Every structure is written in structure tokens, then in C-alpha cells.
């Protein structure tokens, strides 16, 4: 991706309206205008209709050099993406049916890799400790928090370290639930 010397923001989500990739792009447009050293990676697949919409939004904002729609990746590659990023962004919001993005599991995975998290899901982040809670519908609020974390190495290090402590304290039940979800996903694909 040519990311040497860049600050990398990662979103891992199904490309569905509730995943917030559209709002992530809108927020990152604001961030990148102030911080052209930032690159935004969106990993995931899902709603086939949403990807062209996201591509149009990226083109409209002239962000092709700063945003990459990676598509789906394997579990081992996912770990590499978590390690690569400086910040994990999950600007999720409840779906019209009230469903939320897998109860913040991706955010917990980011914390387990020592990464600060910005999320729209209440259960995904301990606000001000492992990251920041944002309004998943408010690009300005999201951009402000991204700029805050990327603008302070001390803050990013604190949030990442605290998130790692919180992740380590997570119950084994959460880990087991995640394992079952991954196993079910693998079985469905084969």
C-alpha cells in the first residue's frame, strides 16, 4: 500500500450501512485535509451495492491516494493489518433493525494488539481509557477524535496500553464466542 512514513487508520467492518465505512470516509476527508500523512484502510466485504457507493465517495472527495478499500482478508492477514495501523476506527451505528456490529469484537481485537480505538459502539470502547466513543453519524466528532489521537503520541500510547490491559482482562467466554464465530465463517466458506 506504500505506507512508509504514514499514519495508518484502519477500519475492519462488513460493508453494510451500520459498519459506518461511509462516515469513516467523510471523517477521514476532514482529517486528511489537515494531515496529508494519514492513510485510511478499510478492510472487509459485504453488501455488494455499498462498495461502488464508497468508491464514488472516495473519488468525489479526491481521496484515492489516501484511502484504500482492501476487501476481505484472511485471519492471519487481519493480525498484520492490526499491527500495521496506528489507530483503529469503527464509526459504527445501529442498523435500522437495532443490530450492532458484532458487539465491538473488532475493537477488542485492536485493543489486544495495543491499538487505540475510536468507535460508535458503547460496548466497544472504554471512553477516554481504551479509546474514544463517538457519534457514528457525526463526521466532525469522528474527525476531531482521530486528529486528537494522531496528534499526540503520548495519548495514542496511553490509550493503546490501557486498551491492551482491558483486552487481557476480557473473559474467556468472549474469546470462545469469537472463536466460534470465526469457525462458523470458515465452515460457511467451504
Residue 185 is predicted with a pLDDT of 83
Question: What domains can you pick out in the chain, each with its CATH number?
Answer: 7-189 (3.40.50.2000)
Question: Is residue 132 within 8 Å of 145, Cβ to Cβ?
Answer: yes
Encode burial over 98-124: b for 16+ CB neighbours within 10 A, e otherwise.
eebbbebbbbbbbbbbbbbbbbbbeeb
pLDDT band at 183 (very low <50, low <70, confident <90, very high): confident
How does pLDDT run across 121-159, given as a tens digit for each residue?
A: 877 888 999 999 999 899 999 999 999 999 999 999 999
**133 pairs with which residues across the strands?**
119
Residue 99 is predicted with a pLDDT of 54
Residue 18 is predicted with a pLDDT of 67
How does pLDDT run across 57-116, given as a tens digit for each residue?
A: 999 999 999 999 998 898 889 889 999 999 999 988 766 555 554 556 788 889 989 999
Residue 151 is predicted with a pLDDT of 97
Amino acid at each position: 500500500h506504500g505506507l512508509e512514513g504514514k499514519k495508518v487508520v484502519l477500519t475492519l467492518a462488513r460493508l453494510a450501512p451500520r459498519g459506518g465505512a461511509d462516515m469513516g470516509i467523510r471523517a477521514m476527508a476532514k482529517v486528511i485535509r489537515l494531515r496529508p500523512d494519514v492513510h485510511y484502510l478499510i478492510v472487509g466485504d459485504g453488501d455488494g451495492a455499498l462498495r461502488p457507493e464508497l468508491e464514488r465517495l472516495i473519488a468525489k472527495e479526491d481521496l484515492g491516494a489516501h484511502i484504500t478499500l482492501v476487501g476481505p482478508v484472511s485471519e492471519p492477514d487481519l493480525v498484520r493489518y492490526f499491527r500495521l495501523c496506528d489507530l483503529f476506527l469503527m464509526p459504527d451505528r445501529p442498523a435500522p433493525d437495532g443490530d450492532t456490529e458484532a458487539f465491538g469484537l473488532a475493537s477488542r481485537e485492536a485493543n489486544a494488539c495495543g491499538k487505540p480505538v475510536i468507535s460508535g459502539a458503547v460496548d466497544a470502547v472504554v471512553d477516554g481509557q481504551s479509546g474514544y466513543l463517538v457519534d457514528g453519524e457525526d463526521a466532525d466528532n469522528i474527525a476531531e477524535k482521530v486528529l486528537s489521537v494522531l496528534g499526540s503520541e503520548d495519548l495514542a500510547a496511553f490509550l493503546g496500553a490501557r486498551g491492551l490491559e482491558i483486552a487481557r482482562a476480557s473473559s474467556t467466554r468472549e474469546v470462545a464466542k469469537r472463536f466460534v464465530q470465526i469457525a462458523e465463517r470458515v465452515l460457511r466458506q467451504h
